[in-house]
């Protein structure tokens, strides 16, 4: 695995750490459980980090020194690709010949390194985009910065170099084909999963007491990185509309925002708090720093609704995690969220980002306990459609397809499968 710009060991919810971190680690753990050793190459961001960390048995995180440990933004990382790639190749050279049987890169920066490793090691490259510049630029959030041309070119190069591309949803697969000219036969749709042991229904009253939330409150929650793309401001503006319509709601409304600034949000990390003040929501909104998954599951379970107003999501792990905790989701009808959320059955999809439309959707659930209970039951059923075990099995099949495609392309016999899942 190559995850250059963010380590799977980092706490999701701030900086560049998010759903991709969860994806890389959870997939790696499931592969290791099937008897497949996984090395994850990532860029070291502290001199205190050891060269290698065993995340779980069978999963080794390799912290590569490439550039200064701190202060580099994601936009500056392309300048460190050569150094990072050199160190990845050096690490492989210390292993027995044929040590790695496949490379799986995540995000375009990692794909650039993965393409080099593919050619040097003679193993297939499987790539997961996670986000795409052309898609983001087509639905740019207000105040966000367009992705640079260099990233678009880099993504096009990775799409061309990869033996197989993994898309999270049918929508993402179509985007790869239509926007990046990917060959349809090289695109495989594999949904990410959810850890149903961690994200599960809990007693809401007890959970609220543990978190210090009023038992009788109406709790509307946002979880994720605070940046324009994720659009937490849409939730706050919708809450202001709700309070304008029904001032009595203020006495029982709580809006937890769980996460930290990221991306272009780092330029003005205080902007969401200032917006809350400007909207008169200081007594309603609670800012909570990023938390571990076990505590995040409690926040989901404590909420009446989890809002996911993103301008784009390749999948939307927050939505499936919340649903697994029996909490309905109100989400923007964009990207992978239309796959994750079953509109009218596990939550509601909103076709716009207008605060009034979001206020309407939130009010439907808050004001109708019967609807909330029905959506809660549907949310649990919907979440069970997504399994990391199934993700791992399908990913293994894709590694083998990539290996076959690579061998056939150079006229060599098809090799044996990368590995067989262990029963």
Cα distance from N-terminal residue to C-terminal residue, the chain: 23
Six-digit token string for 97: 């010949």
Contacts of 242 (CB under 8 A, 6+ apart): 249, 253, 359, 362, 363, 366
The pairing of strands 329-332 and 38-43 is unpaired
351 is in an annotated binding site: no
291 is in an annotated binding site: yes
Confirm if 340 and 319 have CB atoms less than 8 A apart: yes
350 is in an annotated binding site: no
151 is in an annotated binding site: yes
Enumerate the H helices of 226-368 as residue ranges.
Answer: 232-245, 271-278, 293-302, 317-324, 337-340, 355-366
393 is in an annotated binding site: no
252 is in an annotated binding site: no
Cβ atoms < 10 Å from Cβ of 286 = 16
Burial (CB count <10 Å: 0-12, 13-18, 19+), residue 226: buried
Six-digit token string for 188: 């495989």
The closest of 143, 363, 323, 372 to 223, measured between CA atoms, is: 323
> Which residue has tokens 């087509």?
138
303 is in an annotated binding site: yes
Q: How far apart are CA 12 and CA 53, in angstroms?
A: 18
338 is in an annotated binding site: no
377 is in an annotated binding site: no
5 is in an annotated binding site: yes
Confirm if 135 and 175 have CB atoms less than 8 A apart: yes
360 is in an annotated binding site: no
79 is in an annotated binding site: no
Whole-Å CA distances, 177 to 156, 170, 213, 317, 384? 11, 11, 46, 23, 29
398 is in an annotated binding site: no
29 is in an annotated binding site: no
145 is in an annotated binding site: no
> Which residue has tokens 């309070």?
243
160 is in an annotated binding site: no
20 is in an annotated binding site: yes
Binding residues for Mg(2+): 300, 303, 327
Binding residues: 5, 11-12, 16-21, 74, 107, 131, 151, 225, 230, 291, 300, 303, 313, 321, 327
Binding residues for UDP-N-acetyl-alpha-D-glucosamine: 11-12, 19, 225, 230, 291, 313, 321
Binding residues for 1D-myo-inositol 3-phosphate: 5, 16-21, 74, 107, 131, 151
């Amino acid at each position: 695995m190559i995850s250059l710009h963010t380590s799977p060991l980092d706490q999701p919810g701030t900086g560049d750490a998010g759903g991709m971190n969860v994806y890389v680690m959870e997939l790696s753990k499931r592969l290791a459980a099937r008897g497949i050793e996984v090395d994850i190459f990532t860029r070291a961001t502290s001199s205190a980090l050891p060269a290698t960390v065993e995340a779980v048995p069978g999963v080794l995180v390799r912290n590569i020194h490439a550039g200064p440990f701190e202060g580099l933004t994601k936009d500056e990382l392309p300048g460190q690709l050569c150094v990072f790639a050199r160190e990845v190749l050096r690490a492989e050279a210390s292993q027995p010949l044929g040590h790695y049987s496949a490379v799986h890169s995540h995000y375009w920066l990692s794909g650039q390194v993965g393409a080099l490793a593919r050619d040097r090691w003679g193993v297939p490259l499987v790539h997961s985009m996670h986000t795409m510049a052309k898609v983001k630029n087509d639905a740019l959030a207000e105040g966000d910065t367009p992705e640079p041309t260099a990233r678009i070119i880099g993504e096009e190069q990775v799409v061309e170099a990869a033996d197989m591309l993994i898309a999270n949803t049918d929508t993402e697969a179509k985007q790869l084909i239509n926007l990046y000219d990917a060959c349809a036969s090289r695109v495989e749709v594999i949904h990410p999963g959810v850890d149903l042991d961690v994200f599960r229904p809990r007693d809401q009253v007890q959970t609220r007491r543990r978190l210090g939330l009023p038992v009788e409150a109406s709790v509307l929650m946002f979880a994720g990185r605070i940046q324009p793309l994720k659009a937490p401001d849409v939730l706050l503006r919708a809450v202001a509309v709700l309070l304008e319509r029904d001032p009595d709601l203020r006495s029982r409304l709580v809006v937890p925002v769980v996460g930290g600034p990221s991306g272009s949000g780092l330029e003005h990390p205080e902007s969401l708090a200032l917006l809350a003040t400007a909207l008169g929501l200081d007594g309603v909104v609670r800012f909570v720093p990023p938390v571990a998954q076990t505590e995040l599951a409690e926040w989901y379970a404590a909420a009446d609704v989890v809002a996911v107003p993103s301008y784009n999501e390749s999948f939307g792990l927050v939505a499936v995690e919340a649903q697994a905790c029996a909490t309905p989701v109100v989400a923007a009808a964009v990207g992978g969220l239309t796959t994750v959320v079953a509109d009218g059955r596990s939550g509601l999809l909103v076709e716009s980002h207008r605060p009034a439309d979001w206020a309407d959707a939130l009010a439907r659930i808050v004001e109708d306990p019967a609807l909330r209970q029905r959506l809660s039951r549907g949310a649990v059923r919907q979440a069970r459609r997504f399994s990391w075990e199934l993700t791992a099995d399908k990913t293994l099949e894709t590694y083998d397809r990539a290996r076959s495609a690579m061998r056939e392309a150079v006229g060599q016999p098809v090799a044996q499968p990368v590995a067989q899942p262990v029963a």
